[in-house]
Each structure stands twice: as structure tokens, then as C-alpha cells.
Structure 1
């Protein structure tokens, strides 16, 4: 049984990340050099594990947002490069930790670090990257930027624990799930966007605008990922489709379908996610139920809602190439399901 995400009000403007890539190309070159430098270590396994994930083909959206947000407000130093690298290291560390917690075998079509080097190495190299990230934050010399990124690191960890506590819990509510992804995913997007205006000495209003933009973009991004896991393809998702189902993850499409279903259908979800009856046949049934109850389309509608808030957050800011590029990113993130 196939599944089609219902997008009746699909827009012609699908957005693109290319303007952001073009605007930040020179600075990202410096970020990439710094990544290679700071991921180095005399302990041979550390650069091996770090480079395995760093070179795996992600778009590095978060550090590009940091670079663009700083340039938007006229920043001319080099602190944004160190902060962008810190953001990428924080993201990489969370992926290493995530794959251990989720017992994931593949990421972006490649074996996860834990499958090659083991869980212990993955966790410890993630810790190494976090340490390097904080050293670079200190080098920048902005206590406010350090505070924002350090706070986001704590919030992300809280989100991981919240997700662990909610694992396989089908009584999870939509509000509870949104709280998890706000901490686990959106917090780093928010921090990545906010530190740009901070080091550019922008006004508190401008700083709040970028914080709101990043937070709501992160929520939209994660909700689209949730829908793609059941209604997309591996290329768009960066991992195998159906992984959330196989790992017993509670995501918004599951929450909505479970609550809208019959008692018999709820028994299916319990058997699949709580008892591990999550083979390919089970996945196809899950997709069919999501189609029946409109859960994927509603998940995308919620993503569009948060995307709209992100767009509104930037509306009062002066027009600039960076602002236009960041607005395009919103459409790009949501258009992945089109």
C-alpha cells in the first residue's frame, strides 16, 4: 500500500537553500577548514569517527544560518565563523548521541558511527566535539553568545531525556510531543540564528526576531521530517524511510493517528511500537492508517503554521539578501514533502 501526503494547498514557491549557500560560500569555506582543524586529535579514533559523520553529506543549514544572521546586521569580524563551527559541532555531537540512544544502524545511507566503532566511541567523540565547540565559543569572547549556545546545549539534553521518557508511550499528547522537538531540534536552530545578531551588536528586538525565526523554523523542519519518514523517500529524509516506525518512535503522525483510530487500530499501534511488531507489513499498515486519518497532511499543516510564524518574525527587518535567503529556507524546508 502506498501513501501520498495530502497537500491540497501546495504552493508554487518551493523555496531553495541555494541563495543561502551562495551568500555564505566564502564564510562556509572558512568554517569547513576550522571543522577539519578542530576535529583533529592525536587520539586516532577521534578524527576518524568525527570525519565519518561530518563528511556524510548534510547541508550544514544551521551554521549557514549563523553566518547569514551575523552578516545581515553588518558584522565584519571572524567570530561568526567560530560560532558557526561551534553550532555544527553541537549538531554533530547530538547526532552521534542520538544514534546511540535510538540504536540507529544508518544515517544518510551510511552506517552510523556506533555500528563501526561502537556506542562508547560514539558518545565520547560527541563529548569531544562539544568540548571543542565550547572552546571556540570562549575564543569569540561574547558572554551573551556563550550563554545562548550553552543554554541551548542544556535544553537539547533535556529534550533527549524527555524523548527517552516518552519512548513508545502512545499516550503522549501533541503538546507533549511539540515540547520534545522544541527542545531537541528547535533549540539549536534558535540559538544558531540568535548568536548572529548578538555578535553584530544588533538591537534586542532584532535578536528576538532571529531567535523566533530559528525556533519556528526548527519546529517546521522536524515536523516535515516526521511526515517524510512515512510519506517521503530516503533522499529527502537523509535516512531510511520508516526508521521512526522500526525504532518505535512516537512522532506527531503517530500521535494523531493513534488518537483518531478505533480501539482495534490502537491495539495495532501498541503491538507495533511497544512490542516491536514493526516489520515491513506493519509499516505499510501504519502508512495506510495515517492516510485514512489525514495525519500526514495535518502534520504538514502544522509545519506550515510554524513556518508562517518564522516568516512573520523576519517581516519587520530591513530588506537584505540575507533576509531573502532566510525566507527561502522556510519554503525549502516545507517543500521537501511536495
Structure 2
């Protein structure tokens, strides 16, 4: 073993020992300050350091693993670069839509060109299907999306519409937190997506009618096919008509939209009614944002309850952001 290798091993042993020592230092520590409030300064600083540790550890693992799998040979790299070096815009311009399936042009692209085109199509909701299909399928009518892609424009549905579908287990749990659904309930779903929460509501009470809003055109088209559903309009935040005994929602998170939606839901709630909404955890820990501070104070005034949602519950929907459920009875 060379001197350089010995130094590396000794350093790694020292790092492991320090991490073990840090682990023992967490015993007896909680996340609350002397006044009983969450010590956000400590929590955010600790999480930031842990994240840095993890990133550094991953880098070391990749570096050492690369010793076992050195870079591809020059010939292999040349092979990967073979094929047409079309831009994403060129590829999409020559795509076709056949019976709802997006087909790539019959050209042998190089690896990078294909990967970039595939990413754009997947952002727009497409999924590659091999076998007899050999194209990208969509869970909705893709004509509008296809026309946008053909123009060489990006169409990231999750970014544009904040569409992260609620998993079935979480949806059923949220309906339970709202106190269940009964035939005489008036029910609102303010950002319905493709109806994950509506389906959970109907699993609890098939006969109840659910009124809803939805921004994304493809989702609105799908919602029209569901029974006992009334699609009121596109944007819930631009309407103030109607009151409900149950409001169940998974609103968009970016820019504190989630807490804005919750406050608007409360205004549309009848006396004695209950709302249950999924939110991010950002408002809970933001110590300098007035909107978040005001929301925390307001939540106490209306006796709102907060329930944790396990990390990773929305992974299949395309996000790993931490979430929680807010429940308020008016």
C-alpha cells in the first residue's frame, strides 16, 4: 500500500470516528428552545451541515467507486457520440402524433440528443413504451402538449401547474382527517388535478357530489368524465361563491400558495365544517417571512391541527419535498 493510500485510509477512519462522536452528541437534544418554540435557527443550521456531510460522503463514494470502473475507452466514447447531433427543437419538430402516441423521427440520434429530447417529453407528461408501441404515451389527450413541443417550446407540467398527484393512501387518510364524508355534505376540491382526492371522497361516499376547480386543460378534460363531479372553473383563488361543509385539497406549494389557499378555503367553509389540506413544511419553520409568521399565528387562533406526512410519500408523484396535513374545523 503506497503512502498516499495509507493517508487516505487513516483520514477516512478519522472521519468515521468523528461522525460516531457527533451521533452520540445528539442524545438529550430536542428541537425546542427554552420558551417551548421550535428552535428554527438550530434546526436549519444542523440540517444544512448534515446535508453538506451527505453530499461530501456521496462524492467520496463516487470517487472511490470510479476506481473500480474507470472512464470508458476513447472508442466507446466515440460510439456514444455517433448519430445525428440534432437539437431538441429539431427532434421535436420532426416528431409525429399517431393515435395519441408521440413518435420520434426515424433517425439515429446520438446519446446526448436523445436524452435531452426524452427529458422534454417526460416533463410534458409522456412515458416511453417499447414493444409494439415504440413511442411516448400520455395519461391524457396530448394534442395541446404536442403542438407546444412541435414549436420547440418546453412544457413542464409539474412546474407550470404544480401538479403532484396525491397518492391513494394519503388521499384516503386526508378524507379520514376531515371527519369522513356523508351524503348530506357539500364538498369542494379546490385544485383537483386528475381527481385523486375526488376518488378518495367517492370511496368514502360514492353518491356525494364534489365541486372542484382545476387549472390544467388536460386534467379538466379528464375531470369531465368522472361521475358526481361538477367542474366550476379554472382558478379557485379568483372565485368566492359557494360554501361547503367539507373542503379537501392538495394545493400548489410554490411561493407560499399552499397557505394562501388554506386561508381562502377557510373563508368558503360553513360554520361547523372541516377543511383538510396538504401543505409544505416551509411555513412552519420560516422565521423571517411575515406571511408564514402570520399563518402560524392565525392557525392557533382558529385551533388548527397539524399532522406529519412521512418523507418520500410523494416520491412517485415526482417530488420529495416534506409535507404535512393541516386540519381546521370552523
Which TM-score applies when normalising by structure 1? 0.27
**Structure of higher RCO (CA pairs closer than 8 Å, 6+ residues apart):** 1
Q: Which has the higher strand share?
A: 2
Larger radius of gyration: 2
Which TM-score applies when normalising by structure 2? 0.27
